[in-house]
Chain A
Amino acid sequence: MTPSAKLSVSGLNVWFGSSHVLHDVSLDIAPLSVTAIIGPSGCGKSTFLRCLNRMHEVDPSARMSGRIQLDGRDVYRGDVDPVQLRRRVGMVFQRPNPFPTMSVFDNVAAGLRLNRIRGNYAETVEACLRRAALWDEVKDRLQESALGLSGGQQQRLCIARALAVEPEVVLMDEPASALDPIATTKIEELVHELKERYTIVIVTHNMQQAARVSDQTAFFYMGNLVEVGTTEQIFTNPKEQRTEDYVTGKFG
């Protein structure tokens, strides 16, 4: 492992029941960088992402082996509480999932309230909405239901909600796949800005998106990490034939 890595994965295997979905994956993620995970559907991208903050444990049939380190500390050691881990490693999902019973403001403040973190909520909410590039659009409707926002706005609201608990790493599981092109562009610009404060891992099956937003790209295929390298190298000079076939659109 590189000593400076924010996240270091080595020898990761994951099973759901009897199906072996990730095979011996090893990958380092540098701090304050964007890593894109690409690959065809069902190749284990999302599972890999979920292992990073132990969200795969929501499925009781999941088992894993191997090691994942955050700042050099194993996140699967017995004394690590997954609840605490998820505050440091936040997550944004494929479909916008704001809390339907809460206002815009309460959605962003939800992580603070539910975790009983004290502080100036108004300040935090504004800061997070600004960071999620949503403040100007919602500042006059903070008390309205979050369901009144458009899909793209809802997704940025979910990003703001994730940022409010001050994570160090933000995992994004195809955050733009349910959105229209304009909203997608906004999310991509946002990823670029968030990089200054957060380490980002983004799953996408849109290769142009991976090429636009990421510093490092990892190509997964059938549960294996086929190749990882700088985004430029993966897209212009891949070492593996399968990577080349995928990024040039021959399959997938």
Chain B
Amino acid sequence: MTLLWRRLANHLATALAAAAVLVAVIPLASLFWLVLSNGVAGLSLQFFTSRPLPVGEQGGGVGNAIVGTLYMVGIACVFGLPIGVGAGVYLAERGDTRVGRVVRFTSEVMSGIPSIVVGIVAYGLIVVPMRRFSALAGGVALALLMVPTLARTTEELVRLVPHALREASLALGVAQWKTSLRIILRTALGGIVTAILLSVARAAGETAPLLFTALNNQYWNFRPDQPTASLTVQIFNYAISPYEDWHRKAWSAALVLLILVGLLDLLARFLARSRLSRKR
């Protein structure tokens, strides 16, 4: 009797777990399917290489938005990587000092700030004094989003580096700061590169912080002080428009964004895996 009950309970639990997995996978799968089925028809070489055209004209693409997204993510990296990684190393080395506690608290608070608020901050800091929307403002907004997560993952990765390596370096008469940079950071670098790629992928998918910092641009722009197109804002504009053609373009642009982010994720996973297998 008890044996039968146990078997029954076992099967029941397995079935429930399987059902839970299914429920979790369905939205993901349907999201991919929806974007793919709606977006794939609009993809063409022209879609990747040309800029958007006015309503009614055939063709056009999101080439300028792809470049704009990469451009602003690049600006975000210029500001965000040194600060985020630097703060992470500092927290790992001096995290229990008074300054360290302040830095950690700040980064924890920052990581909880909604991205639209970050956009407003960048608006106040850069757009208002410059009196124009710009790629610079968009990049800074994205950097503000990257810094706290980057700082925290870097801290954890640096803490994983064995203490023995630090001692080995110090015992060779290498200065503390040089030990941190050349030995500790170097040893943790593989993991940090993975963390950077993931945070870049996240930044590339942000819309809210770009809405009133970089705004948008129908033309090609490579100047940091000019409004700049991004995939996410372009998708937003296409999607809220009343035109059928623009809706199709929104789907296609969403597919492009999904592919871009997916590639970054894959690259990060590949790097993480090859790093692990090298250690074995």
Contacts and interface: CB of A to CB of B under 8 A. Distances in A.
B167 interface: yes
Given A97-B162, A99-B183, A101-B187, A115 B173 contact: yes
Contacts, number: 70
B21 interface: no
Interface band, chain A: 20 to 34
B164 A86 contact: no
Interface in A161-176: 161-162, 165
Interface in B154-190: 162, 164-176, 178-179, 182-183, 186-187, 189
Nearest to B181: A114
Contact of A91 (B171, B176, B186): B171
A151 to B, nearest CB: 14
Interface in B123-177: 162, 164-176
Main secondary structure of the interface of A (DSSP, over half): helix
Interface string A80-91: 000111111011
A166 to B, nearest CB: 10
Interface in B196-235: none
B187 A83 contact: no
A58 B174 CA distance: 13
Given A97-B165, A100-B187, A115 B170 contact: no
Contact of B174 (A83, A91, A93, A162): A83
Majority-rule SS of B interface residues: helix
B186 A84 contact: no
A165 B172 CA distance: 7
A47 interface: no
Given A99-B183, A114-B178, A158 B168 contact: yes
Interface string A55-98: 10010000000000000000000000001111110110101011
Given A97-B162, A99-B187, A101-B187, A87 B173 contact: yes
B171 A53 contact: yes
Nearest to B183: A99
A53 B172 CA distance: 10
A86 B178 contact: no
B172 to A, nearest CB: 4
25 contacts: A55-B167, A55-B170, A58-B166, A58-B170, A83-B173, A83-B174, A86-B170, A87-B173, A90-B171, A90-B172, A90-B173, A93-B164, A93-B171, A95-B164, A97-B164, A98-B168, A100-B187, A110-B169, A111-B172, A114-B169, A114-B183, A115-B173, A147-B279, A165-B172, A165-B173
